[in-house]
Amino acid sequence: MIDKTSKEFAKYLVDEDIATFGEFLLKSGRKSPYFFNFGKLNNTKRLQIVCSFYAQKIIQLGIDFDVIFGPAYKGIPLSIGVANAVQDLTHTPVEFCFNRKSVKKYGDVGSHVGANLEGKRVLITDDVVTSGITISESVKLVEKLGGEVVGFIVALDRQEKGVDIGISAAQFCENNYSFPLISVSSVSDIIEVLKTDSMNNAIVDSMNSYLRKYGAE
């Protein structure tokens, strides 16, 4: 069954050059023929559209949560934008929260900004994760504030093995937590969009070659 939301989102990422192609050095040390630059969510229109895709996926899957949490830094605008987008679809206010990189010791002291997480079901939102360490760090932040993580949603699944764990982030979640890693779209969806134009054949070949080397089983 074709997931319409995933395919439309993949096309949007390509059309807006958020999905970029060339040669990129990743944090992992790998050289990748593609990179997803969510730093390009630098105006309200783009942020609103991307967050609306997150919201569609959340509603589609029926995720039951109380608060959306965004880990600093890219998760911060996403947590607010996705909360607004879910409200637009459900007509119900949505709480959000994000952490500070360092604890504030004056005024509104503390390690986070926004809703209280104590005893609440928390949906973490981020852009892209490959590493299990990234997931674990975010979960620890939420649990330290008394919340229970019920899901971790990202824009895109790179579908590759993390250098640190040897398995994909989705597999890491499945093996270590009771909540799922949810992706709005995936590298496979990006490839399917690119394949509709023969001018992209070389890019598709390089992406498939990369996945054969580093892709998750």
Calculate Rg over the CA atoms of the chain: 17
pLDDT at 111: 84
- Average pLDDT over the chain reads 93
The model's pTM is 0.92
What CA–CA distances, in Å, run from 123 to 13, 28, 65, 143, 151? Answer: 23, 26, 6, 12, 5
Please give the Cα distance from 68 to 66 (Å, whole number). Answer: 7
pLDDT at 106: 79
Confidence of residue 197 (pLDDT cuts 50, 70, 90): very high
pLDDT at 163: 84
pLDDT per residue over 126-177, tens digit each?
999 887 888 999 999 999 999 999 999 999 999 999 887 788 888 999 999 9
Q: Where are the domains of the chain?
A: 4-214
Fold topology of 4-214: Rossmann fold (3.40.50)
